[in-house]
Amino acid sequence: MRARSARKGWCVSEPFNIPIRVYIEDTDAGGIVYYVNYLKYMERARTELVRALGYDKPAMPQQGLLLVVHSAEIQYRRSALLDDELRASAAVGKVGRAAVTFEQKIWRGNEIICEGVVKVACVDDASRKPCALPENIHQALKAASQNS
């Protein structure tokens, strides 16, 4: 089953989810999650999604390639608090030759408290210039964007 993304024209599969517990180190003095930590939670979900597709992060540097965040568009809806049980989701959106876009959400129960669109680009480790994703990874991401 495919769902239409909030972003016009993007199709994403059902999202991949991981559990997150909010620890004291994630919060400010008031016990509220510091805004940048939502990006860390999203990074974990993307990493685990790619791992579930069969690709560990070390595989890219061994090939002389890196995956880097190109851009992120984040909307914060509600604050997460110390000891909250959250869920971070990632779904593959648009897949290009050198970049992939992920649609991501942070949930507390059935409520979305943060959501975003993160574009990740493939770059050459030495030159830091964009380059094509390895064909096997490209095909796995394309398949993930079309499967239920």
- CA 77 from centroid of its chain's CA atoms: 18
CA distance 22 to 4: 30
* Residue 102 and residue 92 in contact, taking contact as beta carbons nearer than 8 Å: yes
The CA distances from residue 35 to 8, 62, 65, 94, in Å, are 26, 32, 29, 26
In the residue annotation, 56 being an active-site residue is answered as no
> Which residue in 26, 28, 124, 125 is the catalytic one?
28
Task: Give the burial string for 54-63 (b: 16+ CB within 10 Å, else e).
Answer: ebeeeebeee
Provide the annotated active-site residues: 28
